[in-house]
């Protein structure tokens, strides 16, 4: 019998994701063990993601265990994955994608973002991309930094640290917290982070071919994979990490892949976006083309300005 040690972060959402993967593997006859690994992103909660510099913030410790052969696979939220991963490691599967939208959560079921601007309500988020998009679509909105797992953030909202918060639908749904959703944001305007809604399965390159084949056959959703390859290719060329307000969403229409993406300045005043299409088998090239298009329109200046602000 094939046996897998699954590495995961310790939050309730991360454990849900690892248990979901474990159940899929067990259903195919494998034996599994879940190993919880603390990451820097879980330990440092008193600084914003952009201040810490979030490259590998939620992945580095898991990757160390993969390299040392202490775990067979790491389960990540695909949106947490940096655009470049260590050469000894590889992403071998992406789970079927959940709904990709960002959502507004509040204890006030009448609250909307439009109303929040007028009433100076405090909106909590830890995402640089969401902050920039909120500044763009709702200028003057009152934003507060909101770190921690979903349960911690909900408690902070109950304590009055914010009136509402913005999160990915996927995590909210998986944690059975959908009753707090008061508004679903359109993916046309609030285009999600690269990989949002999918899980990424990472292994060491030297994991046995038999184990890798088993994992790919059991866990990989081919349609999601095409979309994420294009999105991650775009992110890599843009040199974005999850603390940069770069966004992209791939969609399939038959064999055609449509990739929409762009970049937005931190204050929301400048947004550059574009669309590229092509055969899904050219996913990587489509991502590169979109990045080249955004850079040609001035996207690089926005990214340079963001890097300067961080320093």
Residue boundaries of the structural domains of the chain: 1-95+198-220, 102-184, 222-311
Residue ranges of the chain whose pLDDT lies below 50: 43-53, 55
Asked if the domains 1-95+198-220 and 222-311 are classified in one and the same CATH topology, the answer is no
- At the second CATH level, the architecture of 102-184 is 3-Layer(aba) Sandwich (3.40)
Q: Identify the residue whose tokens are 């088998």.
A: 281
Q: Are 141 and 122 in contact (CB under 8 A)?
A: no
Q: Are 125 and 146 in contact (CB under 8 A)?
A: yes
The b/e string for 126-141 (b: 16+ C-beta within 10 A; e otherwise) is: bbbbbbbbbbbbbeeb
Q: Return the number of other C-beta atoms located less than 10 Å from residue 189's C-beta.
A: 11
Q: How many angstroms separate the CA atoms of 247 and 231, rounded?
A: 9
What local confidence, expressed as pLDDT, does residue 243 receive? 64
pTM confidence score? 0.91
Active-site residues: which are they?
80
Q: Tell me: the pLDDT tens digits for 85-144? A: 999 999 999 999 999 999 999 999 999 999 999 999 999 998 989 999 999 999 999 999
- Tokens matching residue 161: 């640290």
- From the options 3.40.190.10, 3.40.50.720, 3.40.50.1360, 3.40.50.300, give the CATH code of 1-95+198-220: 3.40.190.10
Q: Return the number of other C-beta atoms located less than 10 Å from residue 2's C-beta.
A: 15
- Tokens matching residue 58: 């939620």
- Tokens matching residue 65: 């265990």
Per CATH, the number for 222-311 is: 3.30.160.40
Helix, strand, or coil (residue 261)? strand
What local confidence, expressed as pLDDT, does residue 20 receive? 97
What local confidence, expressed as pLDDT, does residue 13 receive? 93
């Amino acid at each position: 019998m094939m046996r897998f040690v699954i590495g995961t972060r310790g939050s309730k959402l991360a454990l849900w994701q690892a248990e979901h993967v474990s159940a899929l593997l067990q259903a195919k006859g494998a034996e599994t063990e879940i190993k919880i690994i603390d990451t820097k992103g879980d330990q440092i909660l008193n600084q914003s993601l952009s201040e810490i510099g979030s490259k590998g913030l939620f992945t580095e410790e898991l990757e160390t265990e993969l390299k040392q052969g202490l775990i067979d696979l790491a389960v990540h939220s695909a949106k947490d994955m940096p655009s470049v991963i260590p050469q000894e490691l590889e992403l071998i599967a992406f789970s079927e994608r959940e709904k990709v939208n960002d959502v507004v959560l509040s204890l006030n079921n009448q609250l909307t973002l439009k109303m929040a601007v007028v009433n100076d309500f405090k909106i909590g988020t830890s995402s640089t991309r969401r902050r920039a998009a909120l500044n763009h679509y709702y200028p003057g909105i009152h934003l507060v930094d909101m770190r921690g797992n979903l349960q911690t953030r909900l408690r902070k909202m109950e304590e009055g640290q914010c009136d509402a918060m913005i999160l990915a639908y996927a995590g909210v749904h998986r944690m059975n917290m959908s009753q707090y959703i008061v508004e679903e944001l359109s993916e046309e305007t609030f285009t999600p982070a690269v990989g949002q809604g999918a899980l990424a399965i990472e292994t060491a390159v030297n994991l046995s071919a038999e184990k890798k084949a088993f994992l790919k056959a059991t866990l990989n959703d081919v349609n999601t994979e095409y979309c994420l390859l294009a999105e991650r290719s775009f992110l890599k060329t843009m040199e974005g990490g999850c603390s940069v307000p770069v966004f992209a969403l791939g969609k399939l229409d038959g064999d055609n892949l449509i990739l929409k993406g762009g970049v937005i300045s931190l204050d929301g005043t400048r947004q550059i976006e574009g669309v590229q299409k092509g055969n899904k088998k050219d996913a990587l090239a489509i991502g590169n083309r979109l990045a080249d298009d955004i850079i040609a329109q001035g996207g690089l200046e926005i990214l340079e300005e963001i890097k300067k602000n961080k320093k």
